[in-house]
DNA sequence: TATAAGCTTATTGTATGCAATATTGCATAC
DNA sequence: GTATGCAATATTGCATACAATAAGCTTATA
């Protein structure tokens, strides 16, 4: 797996911002930490020692603390005064609730997208879907994962609602550490693709209710898949 | 209007936390700033000078900067490197989008509440509603406002979904500066009460779809009311 | 031996000073 | 008269030192 060129987007949802701006130390550190949490290099429950991490990243504690505060606001870490921040480890119940909300948010995106996506956005979504078909044949989970994110992001954007995009992406990021393993369960890739197909068709038909319901099911299946993997059911 | 004893809740939604913990300077400052923004003492667009505010609050820039960062994460202020943070001033279009999402989130809360509220929660909601009836007769907008918040919060809690409560409250707080004036428009109090009544009945009946739709309408009416007040339509 | 109180140590919270960068005013050219 | 570039200034970004608090250990006592 290749190293990502840049970290997670801006905390409050991808302000475009010419984007080749010189980053502050705090932003760099935040991106690195967020990536490490999201793709599992830092496990839930793990404490983050300020002095230690600051030293290892070659910055002082000041920007590191600001980064940790941002992560706390994103829900990726939890802080208590005079204690080390720890990577968030939600209870199974809380995780279920988050998946449920995620399903509703994505369903809303899909519904709005079915009503409002522009022609070029629809075309783009089809292209992504075709790409997923090709990757499916190679059975390459990590490659599939990347394009899968794009598929969902394209639908978010299709809702034409920047705030909805913001909170949906934020929720998705927060759940990332717990969705990572889903594509490793047998046959999940193929099932995922079929579900995407139903969503795509509904959106292209402009069928809001069907798009929403297909998406809702898709996300809740992801949750099932996680719970199965994690041995929670 | 009396001074509030404590500021806004914890950034990531009211962790109960014994709550009589000694607050850090950064937390105190954040609460004060958040309150000042939410109830309009700091207007959208206004820059926040770190040195100046730190001095006026009697703290150093370090905790103040951390507080501002939290506010940025909440969406109450916007920051750019080497520029002063400014109180968020969303475009009319963005504001509309946020109201739309707010309506959907509250509708979801209402729907889940209709299905899942406990008996004591239902009873409590009725009591709040009766309180609103009494206040209505006195035509006291600021008093009505306080109990109105409780009415909505009770429905959020009734959803039995902590994460949904978290993002709904966060969205509500972010919209607060733009909902403040709503109860000043003629007859809004009485209309609001009637809308609440419809919502309450639907929830008590366990009618999810009706509860959702009543709530959705209620929130979008609030938006209308704001836009009218702001001269946007 | 178990327990609890007090001290010790490690870690976070805050203040302050310096560095880096954006803004402002002025000078100069067109 | 307007625009452009440079210098001066003000403000934020960062590092470091110190203060405050919580965790761990030691020791005394039942």
The nearest CA of chain B is from the CA of A62 a distance in Å of 8
**Given this model, what pLDDT does residue B180 score?**
80
**Given this model, what pLDDT does residue B18 score?**
43
Whether the CB of A140 is less than 7 Å away from nucleic strand C comes out as no
What is the number of domains present in chain A? 2
- Give how far the C-alpha of residue A177 lies from the chain's centroid of Cα atoms, to the nearest Å: 9
| Span A30-70, pLDDT tens digits | 999 999 999 899 999 999 999 999 999 999 999 999 999 99
Q: Are residues A110 and A223 in the same domain?
A: yes
Q: Are residues B137 and B70 in the same domain?
A: no
Q: What is the spatial distance, in angstroms and rounded to an integer, between the CA atom of A20 and the C1' atom of C30? A: 33
Instruction: Choose the final residue of a domain: B87, B102, B119.
Output: B87
| Span A67-121, pLDDT tens digits | 999 999 999 999 999 999 999 999 999 999 999 999 999 999 999 999 999 999 9
Question: What is the SS3 assignment for chain B?
Answer: CCCCCCCCCCCCCCCCCCCCCCCCHHHHHHHHHHHHHHCCCCCCCCEECHHHHHHHHCCCHHHHHHHHHHHHHHCCEECCCCCCEEECCCCHHHHHHHHHHHHHHHHHHHHHHHHHCCHHHHHHHHHHHHHHHHHHHHCCHHHHHHHHHHHHHHHHHHCCCHHHHHHHHHHHHHHHHHHHHHHHCCCHHHHHHHHHHHHHHHHHHCCHHHHHHHHHHHHHHHHHHHHHHCCCC
Q: Is the pLDDT of residue B82 over 80?
A: yes
Instruction: Choose the final residue of a domain: B64, B87, B110.
Output: B87
Is B9 inside a domain boundary?
Answer: no
Whether the CB of B68 is less than 7 Å away from nucleic strand C comes out as no
Is A113 inside a domain boundary?
Answer: yes
A66 contacts B70? CB cut-off 8 A: no
Is A46 inside a domain boundary?
Answer: yes
Q: Are residues A61 and A105 in the same domain?
A: no
How high is the mean pLDDT of chain A? 89
Judged by a CB distance cut-off of 8 A, whether residue A21 touches chain B is yes
Q: How confident is the model at residue B108 (pLDDT cuts 50, 70, 90)?
A: very high
Q: Are residues B97 and B37 in the same domain?
A: no
B24 contacts A81? CB cut-off 8 A: yes
Is B109 inside a domain boundary?
Answer: yes
Is A77 inside a domain boundary?
Answer: yes
Q: How confident is the model at residue B101 (pLDDT cuts 50, 70, 90)?
A: very high
How high is the mean pLDDT of chain B? 89
Q: Are residues A137 and A221 in the same domain?
A: yes
A69 contacts B69? CB cut-off 8 A: yes
Q: Are residues A159 and A80 in the same domain?
A: no
Q: Is the pLDDT of residue A159 over 50?
A: yes
Q: Are residues A98 and A136 in the same domain?
A: yes
Which nucleotide minimizes the distance between its C1' and the CA of A62?
D14
CB contacts, 8 Å: B21 with chain A = 81
Identify the CATH number of the domain in which residue B113 sits: 1.20.120.530
Q: Is the pLDDT of residue A184 over 90?
A: no
Q: What is the spatial distance, in angstroms and rounded to an integer, between the CA atom of A153 and the C1' atom of C7? A: 56
Instruction: Choose the final residue of a domain: B47, B64, B87.
Output: B87
Interface of B with A in 145-184 (CB under 8 A): 161-164, 167, 171
Is B177 inside a domain boundary?
Answer: yes
Residue to substitute from A78, A163, A223, interface B, most B β-carbons within 10 A:
A163
Is A4 inside a domain boundary?
Answer: no
Q: Are residues B104 and B186 in the same domain?
A: yes
Judged by a CB distance cut-off of 8 A, whether residue A18 touches chain B is no
Q: Are residues A159 and A212 in the same domain?
A: yes
Structural domain range at position A38? 25-87
Q: Are residues B173 and B73 in the same domain?
A: no
Identify the CATH number of the domain in which residue A36 sits: 1.10.10.10
Q: Are residues A40 and A145 in the same domain?
A: no
Is B97 inside a domain boundary?
Answer: yes
Which nucleotide minimizes the distance between its C1' and the CA of B60?
C15
Judged by a CB distance cut-off of 8 A, whether residue B230 touches chain A is no
Nucleotides of D under 7 A from a protein CB: 11-17, 20-23
Q: Are residues B115 and B171 in the same domain?
A: yes
């Amino acid at each position: 797996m290749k190293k990502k060129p840049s970290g997670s987007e801006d905390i409050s949802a991808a302000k475009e911002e010419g984007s080749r701006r010189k980053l502050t130390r705090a932003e760099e550190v935040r991106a690195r930490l967020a990536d490490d949490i999201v793709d599992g290099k830092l496990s839930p429950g793990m404490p983050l020692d300020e002095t230690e991490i600051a030293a290892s990243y070659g910055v002082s504690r000041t920007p590191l603390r600001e980064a940790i505060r941002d992560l706390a606001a994103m829900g990726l870490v939890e802080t208590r005064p005079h204690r080390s921040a720890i990577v968030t480890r939600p209870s199974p119940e809380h995780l279920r609730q988050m998946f449920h909300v995620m399903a509703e948010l994505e369903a809303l995106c899909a519904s709005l997208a079915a009503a409002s996506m522009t022609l070029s956005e629809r075309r783009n979504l089809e292209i992504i879907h075709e790409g997923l078909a090709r990757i499916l044949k190679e059975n390459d989970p990590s490659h599939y994962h990347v394009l899968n994110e794009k598929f969902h992001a394209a639908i978010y954007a299709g809702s034409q609602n920047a705030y909805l995009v913001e909170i949906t992406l934020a929720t998705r990021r927060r759940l990332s550490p717990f969705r990572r393993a889903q594509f490793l369960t047998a046959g999940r890739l193929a099932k995922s693709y079929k579900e995407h197909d139903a969503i795509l068709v509904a959106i292209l038909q402009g069928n809001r209710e069907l798009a929403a319901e297909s998406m809702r099911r898709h996300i809740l299946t992801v949750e099932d898949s996680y719970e199965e993997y994690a041995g929670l059911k």
